Structure 1
Amino acid sequence: MQDYSEKLNDVYDEQLGRHLVASMSIEAGETLLDERPLLVAPHWECGQLKCAQCLQESYVMCRKCQVYPLCMDCSEHDAFECEFFASGAGSRISKDLLVKNYGICALLKLLLLLEQPDQRALCQTLLDTPVKLEDYRNEDGLWQERDEQVVRPLMSSGLVQAFPDQQLTAEVLHAHCIRIDNSAYEVTARDGDTLKGVYVRGASLPHSCVPNTVVALDEQFNMKLYAAVPLESGDIIYTSYTNPLMGTSQRQHQLRLSRHKECACTRCLDATELNTHMSSMKCRGCPDGYAVCQLSGSGDWRCLNASCGAVIPATEVHELLAEVGSALVEARGELSAYETLLDQHKQLLHPNHFLLLDIKQNIASILRAASLMNSLNDPCKKLLARRVELCGDLLPVCRAVVPGLSKLYAIALFEYLLAFVELTELQFAEGDVNKKEYVAQLTRARSVAKEALDLLQFEPENSAEGFLTDRIGVELERIESDLMKYGKL
């Protein structure tokens, strides 16, 4: 199923390929596209068997086909897939095909869809996507890994002979794998594991690091694409395939690796990254200056202060980033290690630098877990205040890099809200703030909760963000109850 808004035109050009363009004005929150996934499957490297029906961990096989795994709660799976291996050409395939080579799961699903006349039409847009295999052969081990985990096992399994009309060769299978990856979003199973969902249109939209749409996925992995900001006639519909909390060079690397594309959006062309300075360094030549990358020049970092202009060589910056990145991996969830890292590098990097934000997020997560464990024992105001500070540091950055109806900003607001309310309640209980101050802080918390709810109002009810909306609603009710109780000054 692919249902488009009547306010969109499906167009094609050499640069962007097939894409969508607004044909009239569109308000923020309007649905632009509804799409069911063509297929949902584990990543290529997944070794743990997953139930063919619900995609949770499985240790038993379907009694009928004896090829596909099923969990204890599921008694059947896709009828065509089951029948294919239970009878006909598929019955001659080894029954331990997926047990030994579970990485072929996504490709096998596509091949079986292509065997069904009513499903093949849904796959045609995917098949029509041109793939230049020479652009992928020299990837950093990815081609070889896919060859060993997916293509060669499938070629030697006998499945090629079972699909004579598809004229399968190793190169055809590699091209199919690339098309699957290039049309996939990461989705989350009910057990929390990450999978990939293939969306023929939703995942083929052109990329921008400052997208004008929001992707929402419900529990059945159905996609809803809606406008993040008001759109005008002629506006191209963009989505994002990168992490917005990465710096420009890191986002570009991720995009080249996953999509073989370059980005020239407003953020990528702005050395300050929309004034967030997420890649900026502290200047070594003046006390208050910040150095940004010379995007069109040498690639060195130069101070923005016109009276300074000091330069930090690109090699020095890259060495520092690699050093901090390695230290982050080695920190392994240790609070003291993250605090030490933050203290060591805040003198060298802009406060909003993406690596410092990463460190702060790790610290905030540890403090939240500690707060949950100690909530019934001895909550610590000092740790709560630290968590509020760290969550607050993230808010303006999230607001800047994902405009409009931003799930990123809404989630950041929720994390801030939890910490702020917990600290406020503790301060009031221990007499650190009086009733008037408590009411003022609760009023602020109410505003934060309502802002988060406004940002998530277009999310499906049966999605992770829909459930988050319920959580925020519960917090808001608690806040309103205390405001009613203590607000009569």
Structure 2
Amino acid sequence: MQDFSEKIQQAHDEKLGRHLVANMNIDAGETLLEERPLLVAPHWECAQLKCAQCMEESYVMCRKCQVFPLCMDCSQHNDFECEFFASGAGSRICKDLLVKNYGICALLKLLLLLEDPATRADCQTLFERSVNLEDYRDGEGMWQEHEEQVVGPLLASGLVEALPTQQLTADVLHAHCVRIDCNAFEVTGRDGETLKGVFVCGAGLPHHCVPNTVVALDEQFNMKLYAAVPLNAGDVIYNSYTNPLMGTSQRQHQLRLSRHLDCSCSRCQDATEMGTHMSSMKCRECSAGFSICEIGPDGSGNWRCVDCNAILPAVDVHEVLAEAGDALVDAKGELQVYESLLVRYQQLLHPNHFLLLDIKQNIASILRAAALMNSMEQPCKKLLARRVELCSDLLPVCRAVVPGISKLYAIALFEYLLALVELIELQFAESDLDKKEYVAQLRIGSQVAKEALDLLRFEPENSAEGYLSDRISMELERIDSDLMKYGGR
């Protein structure tokens, strides 16, 4: 299931457990690991039946086992899964098992993998790290979700009695759910729906908020892990399991919920977040200063201005963040509401604060959707210029928090490129730009497109990023065509 580069090797220590290290120097872009998923399944809350083979929507059941759905394009699925319910102990289970409780799909697949002698060993890495269930009971609703959507229905189905050798209890099933969640990456099906793919090696890499690797997933859900930056012999291979555009306290909170991990990486230890100030507040005492947390990334302490040393109580920071978070939830996609929030919180937060970036992303998305839906018969240059400005604001932060080969930065460049080209084409058509000015802007667009393509050059062709590369190449061809026409090259 896994294919390791000869330039990495397994290591073990008390802090990281089993992990991978470079055993020689590695160039950025070199493939470190290729892995097929142990299983791919919908999220727990999914109620729509999906094909057991390709994970597209399905309303037809396998003719042989009558349990697993199959789409019109797939005539069969996993032989062991099918045979288990077609004959033997599984034949006594209700055929409506998945129809009535489709949320159990991921756990059902894992149990059958454990039951199959041919795949049992593939699952063992999942069980090397013990699960402390007390950490999860009543934790932010996760336990309740598993109990209601997965564990309870599965216990009631009679499947436990059909798998007596596994000695399945409610606690064992809860632990299996946790293992699935902790070893899953979000993957995208052919129909665009998000699923979870369990990768026993790729998901077992230690976390760092500034990872030195990139995860690539193709249409068949195969993973390729490659180096984001040059690695030296002895370097630990890290992945990231958080959103890099979150502030430190938010990343820490997410890691505690999803992986019960307290991160102490270089970014979490840096109150300025690599110079971006994504969690910094405006000082209330001086006009130009910004306050940073002086004790810990969880905000448990006062905040001090880097210019005048004025103290900003942590309780005031938490109050602002909670208020802003609630306001974002209540905005519900309303453009003017987001713009008002931006004006309001720009008075309190650093320009790069993660909440302001969130607001700007929402505004830019609304403006792009309006353009795609042709909701503006004559697109307003002011709104297009606003979109360019917002996309431009995101670029330096994306570049800073994910250095090296960065899909995040490549996508941000693409959004900026689309906004820029749409604006300058309209400005040129309405004579707001002369030919010389238009060519100068086209050349900026050309450089942006080439930079984005360079960042995506290691992505599989049959992946979402591979298709994005094709889209960027098309834009570059259009730009180069106009440069030839108006710029003489």
TM-score by length of 2: 0.97
1:155 paired residue number: 155
Residue by residue, what CA displacement relative to the aligned partner does 1:4-45 show, whole Å, maximum 9, x if unpaired?
Answer: 010001011111011000000000000000000000011112
Matches within 5 A, 1:242-321: 242-296=242-296, 299-305=301-307, 308-321=308-321
Q: Percent identity?
A: 76
Q: What secondary structure does 2:20 align onto?
A: strand
CA shift for structure 1 position 60: 2.6
Matches within 5 A, 1:20-99: 20-99=20-99
Q: What secondary structure does 1:186 align onto?
A: strand
2:229 paired residue number: 229
Matches within 5 A, 1:119-134: 119-134=119-134
Identify which range, 390-399 or 333-342, moves more after superposition: 333-342
- Alpha-carbon spacing, 1:485–1:309, altered in 2? closer, same or farther (3 Å): same
Which residue identity is paired with 1:422?
Answer: E
Q: What secondary structure does 1:131 align onto?
A: coil
CA shift for structure 1 position 392: 0.1
Which residue identity is paired with 1:189?
Answer: G
Residue by residue, what CA displacement relative to the aligned partner does 1:425-451 show, whole Å, maximum 9, x if unpaired?
Answer: 111111111111111111111100000
- Alpha-carbon spacing, 1:152–1:373, altered in 2? closer, same or farther (3 Å): closer
Residue by residue, what CA displacement relative to the aligned partner does 1:161-193 show, whole Å, maximum 9, x if unpaired?
Answer: 211221222222121111111111111112222
Q: What secondary structure does 1:268 align onto?
A: helix
CA shift for structure 1 position 298: 5.0
1:326 paired with 2:326, answer yes
Q: Equivalents in 2 of 1:122, 1:148: separation in Å?
A: 28
CA shift for structure 1 position 98: 1.1
Alpha carbons 2:449, 2:476 under 8 Å: kept: yes
Alpha carbons 2:364, 2:391 under 8 Å: kept: yes
Q: Equivalents in 2 of 1:372, 1:39: separation in Å?
A: 36
1:343 paired with 2:346, answer no
Q: What secondary structure does 2:37 align onto?
A: coil
Residue by residue, what CA displacement relative to the aligned partner does 1:382-401 show, whole Å, maximum 9, x if unpaired?
Answer: 11100000000000000000
CA shift for structure 1 position 74: 2.7
Residue by residue, what CA displacement relative to the aligned partner does 1:297-346 show, whole Å, maximum 9, x if unpaired?
Answer: 952221011xx211111111111111111111111111111011111111
1:426 paired with 2:426, answer yes
Q: Equivalents in 2 of 1:392, 1:312: separation in Å?
A: 30
1:473 paired residue number: 473
Q: Equivalents in 1 of 2:383, 2:396: separation in Å?
A: 22
Alpha carbons 1:93, 1:159 under 8 Å: kept: yes
Which residue identity is paired with 1:200?
Answer: V
Which residue identity is paired with 2:313?
Answer: P
2:15 paired residue number: 15
CA shift for structure 1 position 138: 3.6
CA shift for structure 1 position 132: 1.7
Alpha carbons 1:129, 1:179 under 8 Å: kept: no
1:448 paired with 2:448, answer yes
Residue by residue, what CA displacement relative to the aligned partner does 1:196-253 show, whole Å, maximum 9, x if unpaired?
Answer: 1000000010000000000000001100000000000010000000000000000000
Alpha carbons 2:133, 2:175 under 8 Å: kept: yes
1:464 paired with 2:476, answer no
Identify which range, 102-111 or 394-403, moves more after superposition: 102-111
Identify which range, 204-213 or 433-442, moves more after superposition: 433-442
CA shift for structure 1 position 82: 1.2
Alpha carbons 2:89, 2:162 under 8 Å: kept: yes
Q: Where does structure 1 lack aligned partners over 5 or more consecutive residues?
A: none
CA shift for structure 1 position 71: 2.5
2:383 paired residue number: 383
Q: Equivalents in 2 of 1:251, 1:205: separation in Å?
A: 17
Q: What secondary structure does 1:267 align onto?
A: helix
Root-mean-square deviation (Å): 1.4
Which residue identity is paired with 1:51?
Answer: C
1:238 paired residue number: 238
1:190 paired with 2:190, answer yes
Identify which range, 161-170 or 345-354, moves more after superposition: 161-170
Q: Equivalents in 1 of 2:387, 2:300: separation in Å?
A: 39
Alpha carbons 2:208, 2:265 under 8 Å: kept: yes
Q: Equivalents in 2 of 1:120, 1:474: separation in Å?
A: 46
1:114 paired residue number: 114
Q: Equivalents in 1 of 2:301, 2:43: separation in Å?
A: 35
Which residue identity is paired with 1:66?
Answer: Q
Q: What secondary structure does 1:118 align onto?
A: coil
Q: What secondary structure does 2:64 align onto?
A: coil
Q: Equivalents in 1 of 2:103, 2:375: separation in Å?
A: 43
1:435 paired residue number: 435
CA shift for structure 1 position 376: 8.4
Residue by residue, what CA displacement relative to the aligned partner does 1:255-312 show, whole Å, maximum 9, x if unpaired?
Answer: 010001011111100111001011111100000000011234952221011xx21111
Q: What secondary structure does 1:117 align onto?
A: coil
Q: How many residues align?
A: 487
CA shift for structure 1 position 375: 8.2
Alpha carbons 1:209, 1:242 under 8 Å: kept: yes
Alpha carbons 1:269, 1:295 under 8 Å: kept: no
Matches within 5 A, 1:197-208: 197-208=197-208
CA shift for structure 1 position 482: 0.8
Alpha carbons 1:31, 1:226 under 8 Å: kept: yes
Alpha carbons 1:293, 1:301 under 8 Å: kept: yes
Q: Equivalents in 2 of 1:265, 1:174: separation in Å?
A: 30
Which residue identity is paired with 1:213?
Answer: T
1:146 paired with 2:146, answer yes
1:211 paired with 2:203, answer no
Identify which range, 46-55 or 202-211, moves more after superposition: 46-55
2:399 paired residue number: 399
1:102 paired residue number: 102
Q: Equivalents in 1 of 2:285, 2:21: separation in Å?
A: 47
Alpha carbons 2:370, 2:376 under 8 Å: kept: no
Q: Equivalents in 2 of 1:349, 1:135: separation in Å?
A: 34
Q: Equivalents in 2 of 1:364, 1:295: separation in Å?
A: 35
